[in-house]
Structure 1
């Protein structure tokens, strides 16, 4: 199954639905950053949540940034996404190894630790919208659920999952976001709450081959849904040698002059995709001359 996500409604518009399958996207992140299993699970969950939240944005040029700042050994997670299904991200310490948690699963909460979730939406306005909430469990899905309720006042249920193979490749990844509209009836709310009580882990269904549509319908139970849009998802970074050159220029004249004196080609890596760019002495001299 190729990576894609859906957006739609249920219960005659009383519920907003989002579902995603992101195995290849998360696997590419794992390969690019050489992620440990627990780092892959943590980043993969936020990548999946970020992709669906990106789909909530109205314009193709809008950019969403999610940042998890915890005191755990992973050090922090950053993800950016847009409305077109492009998503990218990284963790500060990709090689973190932890023993399984008490349930025998990857200890994402232990890797993340206690901290904050920040959400920034750049919609081309003078100032980007920014919201911040505490991490309630550090398992990512519950933290996004809490963010929606507290910062956006939208009652939501978020489910995210990444299942790893024994060889540290990604077996499956995906998730859902279900949101109640302000005019949702008590009957709809009660039915959804009952369905959510009986819902098991996201990966249990994805491992069986569930599509995003099937996953969301499993959450909704007998509530009818209508898919309005299906969008491919991919790990995509728009970095280039020219873009990264701006970072090199920002280190300051003195530092660039010292690099030129050393006479060696320098390597600069993109945080988001780990692509390496090389700048020769001639490149550095040009950057220095341009910044005059």
Structure 2
């Protein structure tokens, strides 16, 4: 099943829901970065969240960066998405890992750390990007994003992000959903939602059972008569190019490029997001100075 996101709203117009299946996207990220099982889960949750948030961006050139920095061994987790469903990301330490918890689940909160911040950066093509951030509450990412929406945007939300890693450390299932309460929602409906979420299976379990995003939405929130507004394919895609890397080198300034020429006589730049390598000879570096 191809990865995609659906966006829906209930009949009353009080509940907005995003549901994503992201198994292939997370598996591609795992292969690129060679992540450990726990790092795969942490990065996969981040990529899935970024994808759902990214499709809400209005401009074709707008980008959303979802960044988590805790005090755990994984370091920074960076995910970048746009409204086309294209997502890319990386972690500082892809080999960071911890023993599973007593319940058998991966210790994502431990590898991320509880002390740190979550930031969402929206580049809308203006002079300065919009930056919102909150402190981490658990390092589990979904809970931290709920806290972000509550504090930074005053938006009551329920979020579930999941990555199921198989025995061969490949990604068996991945996905997520975001439910947001809109103005006018009744207390009775809030109570019903809370009851549903308490009994709901993890999203990774539902996807592993073969459910599509439409079936997940119907299974969890069908009693609210949800209407699907749109569907958007998502994929792991890096947009790096030699031209963009040249711009990065030029931004270092003439003196720094000259230092590279004196010390190494060449340069090799590696993209954080796809591990693509770009090599520049001495002559090419001199041309950049010119």
| Offset from partner CA, 1:212-268 (integer Å, 9 cap, x none) | 112222331522111111010011111101101222233343442243245654311
Aligned counterpart, 1:256: 257
**Residue pairs, 1:141-220, within 5 angstroms:** 141-220=142-221
Maintained 8 Å contact 1:162/1:172: yes
Aligned counterpart, 2:232: 231
Could you tell which deviates more after superposition, 78-87 or 101-110?
101-110
Output the TM-score relative to the length of structure 1: 0.94
Output the TM-score relative to the length of structure 2: 0.95
| Offset from partner CA, 1:128-175 (integer Å, 9 cap, x none) | 221111111111111111111111111111110011111111111101
**Residue pairs, 1:270-281, within 5 angstroms:** 270-281=271-282
Number of equivalenced pairs: 289
Could you tell which deviates more after superposition, 252-261 or 93-102?
252-261
Maintained 8 Å contact 1:195/1:221: no
Maintained 8 Å contact 1:86/1:235: yes
| Offset from partner CA, 1:19-56 (integer Å, 9 cap, x none) | 10111111111111111111111010010001001122
Aligned counterpart, 1:83: 83
State the alpha-carbon separation in 1 of the partners of residues 275 and 124 from structure 2.
26
Aligned counterpart, 1:23: 23
Deviation at 1:123, TM superposition (A): 1.9
Maintained 8 Å contact 1:99/1:106: yes
Aligned counterpart, 2:66: 66
State the alpha-carbon separation in 1 of the partners of residues 266 and 168 from structure 2.
36
State the alpha-carbon separation in 2 of the partners of residues 138 and 217 from structure 1.
29
Q: Show structure 2 runs of 5+ residues with no match.
A: none
Deviation at 1:121, TM superposition (A): 1.3
Is 1:54 aligned with 2:50?
no
Deviation at 1:85, TM superposition (A): 0.4
